[in-house]
Amino acid sequence: MNAAALDSAAPLDVVRPSGVGGLIIDGKIASEQVLAEVAARTKLLAARGTVPGLAVILVGENPASQVYVGAKGKAAKSCGFHSVQHDLAATTTEAELLALIASLNADPAIHGILVQLPLPEGIDSTKVLEAVSPLKDVDGFHPVNVGLLGVGDISRALVPCTPAGSLVLLEKTAAALGVKLDGLEAVVVGRSNIVGKPMVQLLLSKNMTVTIAHSRTKDLPGTVRRADVVVAAVGRPEMIKGDWIKPGAIVIDVGINRVPGEGLNAQGKPKTKLVGDVDYAASIKNAAAITPVPGGVGPMTIAMLMSNTLRSAERAAG
């Protein structure tokens, strides 16, 4: 795959030149495209009498969670959804949380339920997530949706948002490069239930040959070097080095890691910066295209949450 050989008529809207090698995959533009499609389909659905409803539950006052929940609510309203946020005290009991979920499961105006993690100590996250109806599980974490994805029934599964967004970026990039995913070799680094494992199933659905690698993989650099597509979701800052990347590979970096930066901020504290699981500066010289951090996969996660909510509403409307 050669970025320099791009056809001028190819869909280049989500990729742009880096000036130092491969193309940059712009997750912000791709997410805007997804959200625009969701908003358009929401109008059609609303004209038939159904407005997609998303309920987000936040327990406690975790600052990062508050930011994420706010962004999700804003996106929902921009798409024309009925958006509800339940802010619960950190002292909320597991029984009280389960009762709220049961009421939302029974509410016909709510099509998607999202419980923001992490939950306070004393609340069983697994029990809570499994209490959400599989039909309203827009995070894609319920065992029913995991099972549907595992057997390849993607048409019925609600797929976890981050891997779903990663696949959208991969497909758009492959189209821009004039590359067919069929038969390509992919390596997913990371075996989490949230990203790594569902990502494998999605890549298999595109007829790719997939290897899942992890911390115990023998010769991890050699394994990654075989890949036409690398999906990094291991949670270790810049673990994947530039010379691990096969020339012409597409790199999807899911990692978001905060590391020390240079100098002090306005408050006199040491600066920090966000980096991915891939050494971006070195890898972009070999890759045909790569997602930056931030600005790559991150924006897609919320966009796919909106897409899942719309799908759930469309199913409810028949």
Catalytic site positions? 72, 116, 139
Work out whether the CA dihedral 83, 308, 175, 297 comes out positive or negative.
Answer: positive
- Say if residues 168 and 30 touch (Cβ distance below 8 Å): yes
Outline where the chain has alpha helix (H): 27-47, 63-78, 94-105, 125-131, 143-150, 161-177, 196-205, 220-225, 280-283, 298-316
For 171-215, give the DSSP string.
HHHHHHHT---TT-EEEEE---TTTHHHHHHHHHHTT-EEEEE-T
Residue in the block written with tokens 């390596």: 187
DSSP-assigned beta bridge partners for residue 230: 187, 251
Supply angle C-alpha 75, 76, 79, rounded to 5. 90
- Say if residues 204 and 152 touch (Cβ distance below 8 Å): yes
For residues 293 and 204, what is the distance between their CA atoms, to the nearest angstrom? Answer: 25
Tokens, residue 107: 């509410």
